[in-house]
Each structure stands twice: as structure tokens, then as C-alpha cells.
Structure 1
Amino acid sequence: MLLEFRFCNFRSFRDEAVFSMAASPDTTLEASHTRATGLDKVKRILNGAAIYGANASGKSNVIRALHFMQLMVTTSNQIQPDQESTLSPFRMRPDFADHPTKLEATFLINRVRYQYGFEITRRRVLSEWLLVYEKTKPQVWFSRTYNPKKEKYDYTYSDYFVGQKKVWETATRKEVLFLTTAVQLNNEQLRPLYQRIADDLVVFTDGPSIGFGFSARYMQSAANRDRVQSLIAAADTGISSISLETRAGKHFQVNFMSGNPEVQDTEVDVPQFGHVAEGEIYKFDFAEESAGTQILFELAGPILDILQKGRTLVVDELDRSLHPLLVLKIVQMFNDPELNQNGAQLIFSTHDVSLLDGGKLRRDQVWFTEKDNDQVSHLFPLLDFSPRKGEALEKGYLSGRYGGIPILG
């Protein structure tokens, strides 16, 4: 589970921003919206969080920062020697290229805290570290810092970190993360952290419209097909059944070595939706359904899979083309102890203010982004305003009490 994420000098964020999934001492909705960690310092962790803010205030950049960190961990070894990464630092200053970007995430893995981060520029990793809290005090499993005078990296290790350290050091180029290299060279000690970032963190930076491919593959088993059909039917879409039809299609991918696109002939399972009228079933193609139904089906497979496996889903603009009641349904699934037994989390940006009232979210689950006069984004929690229990949060937000709204001329 994701416990905390902090970053600075990324896109519209110049200064450090901290996003936390640690639950406050408030006992409101504690049994459904939080779960115990087994830790003394952070006793409970949130199942979900929502980020509000005006357009272009920085909501999407919080999610992009987390996604960029994931991409660095999983693909930094694919960066060619002396090739620049796709890092986007804060650009509203003349010397922006000289400032490093810092990203750090803390995960809870088997009741142990892993605090991992790095500082980079477009051409070099400047530092990288991993702190592991098996007890109260952290163990610095490894630390890597670039020494410009020596033009090489200084490494330090904890006695708890074992293996072929010199081999991993030698194989790690300046553009590549040590974590990536070590796991690629069969370091099993770091693999749980790598898998938490690479596999258990699911980030949709372009909104909930992700294509129907995953949900179609998820439906290959009868049990999963029933789960998807139940979710779609519960949304009152008028769909009574879903089937898959295999058709000829194209598979598109980019060759990372050459940068050239490659297209291959393949077969694609296309969903067919059954609607009942006067006792007859009429099948419609995916493209013939409404935008809301398409997005709901596209999300159905990932959501059900994430709930089953206890992963973390991060979605930009979850409410895009979805009715507020459908958004609420998705949020409730992650807060349902029966459905969410393995610690799955949902983090999303939204403009849906109806979620703020009526006991749908805890006060510590609400975050805001806002830009100042220097075009710098800031991230802050609702708790900074000490809202009262039962306070009309929707009214307060729309009136500007908490910030995060557009100033209209």
C-alpha cells in the first residue's frame, strides 16, 4: 500500500509537495475507509483519497509525478548512454535545467515500511536511497550519491543489504537507477519493492478511458465475466449480458531501440453488449454504447482485478463521462470491507463535489491543488483548514473557503 509520496521540481510544482495516505486519529468511517497497518507510528492507512482543484492547478501533475517515478524504476535501463530522459522539471525560472527533481515514495509491504527515492536531472541520477523500517529506526539498505569532484558515485550499504553489490554498482550507468539494475540482475531482496512500484501501482494519467483490452482479457474466465456483468448491470446501463467476439486486428508498439513503430496482425476480443427488448436480445458493439458505458466497461476489469490483488489504482479525472452516482459506486467498492479484503487503494483527481458531503469521504481523504501568482502549484489537505465534523464541505469548497477553485473574471 502507498503510504506517502513527495516530490519537487516537477512540471508546475517548484517546491516540495507531500501527499499522505496515513489516516488521522479521527474515528469517523474508520472501519470502512481505513485499515490497520500494524505499525506504532502510523496506526491506520486510508483506502482512498480525492484531489480537487481548478483546471491547470496541478491535479494531473501530482499523478504524472507518481507515474514518472514508476517509469524510471521500470524502464530507466532502456535509456541509452548519454540520452536525456523525458523528465519535465519546473520551467518558470531561467536556470531551470540546473535544478534536480526529487521523487520519493513510502510503501507498506508486509507491515514493513520501505522509503525509496532519488534525485535526477535529465542526464544523470544524482542520488538514490532506500530506508527500510523493520523496527523503529530505519535501516539504510543502500545510498548512492554522485561526487562531482571524483566524477563517480559514492555508495554506502547497511549490513542488512546483502548480495553482489560491486557487480550491481559496476552495471549501473549514470542514467539508470540502482534499484532497476539490481533487480534486473536477480536481486531478490529488492524485488518486493520493485514489484510494488512496477506491478501493484496502476496509474492512468490520461483519465479512465484506457481501452477495452484489459477488461476483455479479464473476462476470459467465467467467474470474472460474471463479476464484470454484475458491475455493469448494477450501474443501470440497460445491459443484460456481455460476450466477446474474436476479430482480426492490429497490434501497435514502438521499438525502444530504433524508436520506430511496429504493427503486427493479431486477433482482438471485442465486447458485445446484450440489450433486452420485448423478450428479444439485441447485441451492440462496444463503439455503439454511450461514452459512460464504454468507460465503465474499460474500468471494470482493472478495478475488480485491483480489488482482488490489493493494488493501488491512481486515476486522473475519474469522473470524466461518468455520472456522479457511478463515481460514488466505484469509491464505495474500495471502502467495502467485503469487496476490498486485500488492502487495495483508490487515488483520483475529480471535479465531482457531490462526494464531499453525506459521509462519502473522510475529511483526511480530501486534498486540493492551487496555483499562486508565480504559476507555482501547491498541494495541501483539507485538514489544514480544521473543518468541523458535519461541516458542509461542498458549500465551503465552492465558496472558496479551502482554495482550489478557479477565479473567474
Structure 2
Amino acid sequence: MTNRETRHIKKIQPKLTFLKVKIENHPLFKDGLEFSLMSGARVTARTKDQLTNLSGKLWVTNLATIVGKNATGKTTILNTIAGILTLLFYDLSIEQTSLKNMLIGNNPIKITTFFYGSNEKLYKDEIVFKNNGADKKWIIDSEKIYQKEFKPQFTKKQILDFTGIKPILDRKELDEVAATILATNDSIFRVIIAKENYKTQTIIENIIFTNVNAIYYGESTVPTEILRFLDPTIDYLKVEQQRDEAGAIKLLYRLKFKNRDEEITATGFDVIQRFLSSGTSKGITLYGNVVSALKSGGIIFVDELENHFNHAIVRSFIEYFSDPKVNVNRATLIFSTHYHELLDDINRGDEIYITKRKDKIELQRYSSTDIRNDYKKSEVFESDLLGGTAPEYESYLRLKKQTKKVVEDKHE
């Protein structure tokens, strides 16, 4: 190869991949709550295509679900993880991320996040958030970043062991100029990203659409395939952007059904939603976000994936991330669900986290339990074998008694 040919070889940009997060001293969480995408079970020939091998023994799942009873903290966990990743990956302040509503209480909260760089480097970012007291605004009190070389012979335990490693960046030891420029609610992790020229995973938060019925799609024409999948009676749907006289952008919805000659047009979603089911609207939005994640190799967070969808539709979205022929860029889906029957469609126990709540929110990885593999995961959940996954029988009896009382009183 000549020098001229060598100069024309495009240098591959290294990628930064999220591995694990640990949350300490949060008033809602059991201290030391952890969420990890690193494989927590044996990598087998049957399931390895559903994982991504970063290097050596370092494998990560492309799918993770958080399942639990109502009010066990599923949404809170999703928002906290998405919030810390958005803070670290983008030039955003705390207030510009979902962390703004997740940091609560009066005591400092510590969040430690681990990453792998494809240039064979491992990182640990350790942030302590505190309430400044004056205006109840949360700021970053301290932040330390640790780095070490990844070695293919590392065991799983050695990968995230930073014992004896000194921080390469310490917020409290920045020079005077840098300290003056840096805002109290901004992370210094951007220094690492810029220095190593890392391509970070795109963070897509579909959580905001859990209880909001709206249509957002990246292109003007919604693909016919997703429309027919959600509602076979739809001929086409277009969402076009227009500017009014003041220059403000407005959306024009153009909808046509197969059995109608006329096209329905509207400039407001409140009109168009009269003709579409909630499942269709949410499905279009979710599909657009899923495609965005698959194209970029990012991470998409979805709360209550089953919301307004039947089992077949939910299963199809999950399969996109577990099928290597579709998920060629190794995107990641992290979602919560109440629909425990979905667990039987998930092959690996390390793709499942179970939330419980006594005094505080707890998170347990299914692969860390001693439940036999021949048990159906949905039955384990329903039968409360792990404790705290099914409604208490006493609560059921009390509710039934109260319902009977109300009904009887009504007819007196």
C-alpha cells in the first residue's frame, strides 16, 4: 500500500458505550442500586447473537426490561438512567435533563457511571450532586473521572475494578480559568469525549410519550408498512411542516383511509386524533424513535412498552433489537412493563430486572436469582417466588370487601 493510499484511509471514530450505573444515597432507592447492560449470565451459542461483544469477555445486552408492580419505581429508574447519560454525553445542564425531577431530598446523591471506549479504554465517572439550599437548586458538588486500559484477558470482575487507579480528572482540581468557565450544573465528562473524539450513543427518551397522545415522526411521510401494521384501514398519513406569516413552524396532517375518497387535513393533532386510535398514534411515534435508535446504534428508553398495544405489536418492537439482521448497529432498548407475559419472550435472564418496593425501591436482576431455568418467567413473577412481585393477598381481600360494601350501600 502506498503512502497516498494510506492517507486516504478514513480513520474510524472510537465509540463510547454505556456499561453500568450505580446510585447511592438517593432517598427513594435502596442504597447502592445498580443497573447494568453487561452480561450477567453465560454467553451461549444460542443467545450470543442477541448480545454485542465489545472486546474480550466484555459482552453487553441489546435489550433490558424492568418489570414490577405498580408504584415500584420503574419510571423513576428509567428517568434517572436516561438523565445521567444525557448529562454526560451532551453539553446540557442538570435542568435540561430528566435528572431535574429525579434529584430530591436534602442529602448529597452519588451516581457512578461506567463506560467502554472502543479504543480499549474503560471509564468510571463519579458525580456527587447536592442541593445548594438557597434556592433548592441541585448542583454538582464533585466529579472524578477514572480511566484504565482494557485488556482482553480481564475477567468480568476485573473489568470494572478501578482499585488503585487515580482519577485523570478531578473537578475540584481544575485550573482557575476552567473552574470559572464551568457551570456548577455541568459535567466535565465532555472533556473526555472531546479529547478522545468519541462517538457517543444517541439517547432517545420515549418516556415523555407514556401518558401523552401525539404523533412525532422524523420524515413527512409515515411508512405504509407501519400504518398497515397498526391500522390496515389507513391508506396514508403525512405530517408536513409549514411556516405561518410570522415564520413559526406549524404541522399539517394529511390522512386518508382506504374506504374514503376524501383526504382529512388538519393543522392540529386534536383534530386528527379523532380519527386515529391511541395505539396507532403512539405506535407511529414509537416506531419513528425505534428506527432512529437502530440507525444510530443508540439507546432508546420506553416506559410501559405495552401501553395501548397488543402482544404482537409489542413483541415486534422487542424483536428488532434481538435480531442481529435488523439491529446491525447494535442499538439498545431499555423499557419498563407491567405485562409480565412478555418475560417468556425474553431468552436471557440478564435482560430482565425486577423492581420491588418496601421502604425503598429495589432492583434485582433475574439472572442473579437461583430460580430454575425450566420455570416460565411469567409464572415466577405471578406466583411471587421472588417476593414483592405480585399484589399481596390481604390487599386483594380488603379491596374486594370494600368494593362489596360500596356496591351494597349503593342499592340500599
Q: TM-score, normalised by structure 2?
A: 0.74
2:376 maps to what in 1? 392
Amino acid in the other structure paired with 1:142: I
Say if 2:129 and 2:141, in contact at 8 Å, map to a contact too. Answer: yes
Once residues 103 and 249 of structure 1 are traced to their aligned partners in structure 2, the CA distance between those partners, rounded to angstroms, is 45
1:377 maps to what in 2? 361
1:132 maps to what in 2? 147
Deviations 1:126-155 (A, max 9, x none): 32122334334867563326xxxxxxx235
Q: Is the partner of 1:49 in helix, strand or coil? A: strand
Once residues 117 and 235 of structure 2 are traced to their aligned partners in structure 1, the CA distance between those partners, rounded to angstroms, is 40
2:205 maps to what in 1? 203
Seen in structure 2, the aligned counterparts of structure 1 residues 268 and 395 have a Cα distance that, compared at 3 Å, is same
Aligned partner (choices 230, 253, 256) of residue 274 of structure 1: 256
Q: CA deviation at 1:55?
A: 1.2
Q: Percent of aligned positions with the same letter in both sequences?
A: 18
Q: CA deviation at 1:14?
A: 4.2
Once residues 327 and 391 of structure 2 are traced to their aligned partners in structure 1, the CA distance between those partners, rounded to angstroms, is 35
Q: Does 1:25 align with 2:42?
A: yes
Seen in structure 2, the aligned counterparts of structure 1 residues 350 and 116 have a Cα distance that, compared at 3 Å, is same
Say if 2:230 and 2:279, in contact at 8 Å, map to a contact too. Answer: no
Q: How does 1:4-403 map to 2 (within 5 A)?
A: 4-10=20-26, 12-23=28-39, 24-27=41-44, 29-40=46-57, 42=58, 44-70=59-85, 72-73=87-88, 74=90, 86=100, 88-89=102-103, 91=105, 97=106, 99-110=107-118, 112-123=121-132, 124-136=139-151, 142-144=168-170, 153-154=172-173, 167-179=177-189, 182=191, 188-189=194-195, 192=198, 196=200, 200-208=202-210, 214-215=216-217, 218-220=218-220, 225=221, 228-246=223-241, 266-277=248-259, 280=261, 283=264, 286-287=272-273, 288-357=275-344, 359-372=345-358, 375-402=359-386, 403=388
1:405 maps to what in 2? 390
Say if 1:211 and 1:298, in contact at 8 Å, map to a contact too. Answer: no
Q: CA deviation at 1:190?
A: 5.7
Q: Which runs of 5+ in 1 are unaligned?
A: 80-84, 92-96, 146-152, 156-164, 251-263
Deviations 1:81-120 (A, max 9, x none): xxxx9465564xxxxx1x2111122233426433323111
Deviations 1:240-273 (A, max 9, x none): 32323455679xxxxxxxxxxxxx7623334433
In angstroms, what is the RMSD of aligned CA positions? 3.2
Q: CA deviation at 1:388?
A: 2.5
Q: CA deviation at 1:210?
A: 6.2
Q: CA deviation at 1:238?
A: 3.0
Q: Does 1:3 align with 2:19?
A: yes
Say if 1:247 and 1:269, in contact at 8 Å, map to a contact too. Answer: yes
Amino acid in the other structure paired with 1:129: K
Say if 1:14 and 1:90, in contact at 8 Å, map to a contact too. Answer: no
**Matched residue count:** 348
Deviations 1:342-390 (A, max 9, x none): 1100000101112111x43422111111111xx2111111123223233
Amino acid in the other structure paired with 2:341: S
Seen in structure 2, the aligned counterparts of structure 1 residues 343 and 109 have a Cα distance that, compared at 3 Å, is farther
Once residues 249 and 205 of structure 1 are traced to their aligned partners in structure 2, the CA distance between those partners, rounded to angstroms, is 30
Once residues 78 and 344 of structure 1 are traced to their aligned partners in structure 2, the CA distance between those partners, rounded to angstroms, is 25
Once residues 239 and 361 of structure 1 are traced to their aligned partners in structure 2, the CA distance between those partners, rounded to angstroms, is 35
Q: Is the partner of 2:248 in helix, strand or coil? A: strand
Q: CA deviation at 1:315?
A: 1.4
Seen in structure 2, the aligned counterparts of structure 1 residues 45 and 70 have a Cα distance that, compared at 3 Å, is closer
Say if 1:87 and 1:121, in contact at 8 Å, map to a contact too. Answer: no
Say if 1:7 and 1:103, in contact at 8 Å, map to a contact too. Answer: yes
Say if 2:252 and 2:265, in contact at 8 Å, map to a contact too. Answer: no
Seen in structure 2, the aligned counterparts of structure 1 residues 32 and 169 have a Cα distance that, compared at 3 Å, is same
Seen in structure 2, the aligned counterparts of structure 1 residues 100 and 283 have a Cα distance that, compared at 3 Å, is same
1:161 maps to what in 2? none
Once residues 382 and 146 of structure 2 are traced to their aligned partners in structure 1, the CA distance between those partners, rounded to angstroms, is 41
Once residues 227 and 370 of structure 2 are traced to their aligned partners in structure 1, the CA distance between those partners, rounded to angstroms, is 38
Say if 2:51 and 2:62, in contact at 8 Å, map to a contact too. Answer: yes
Once residues 102 and 238 of structure 1 are traced to their aligned partners in structure 2, the CA distance between those partners, rounded to angstroms, is 51
Say if 1:128 and 1:178, in contact at 8 Å, map to a contact too. Answer: yes
Say if 1:310 and 1:342, in contact at 8 Å, map to a contact too. Answer: yes
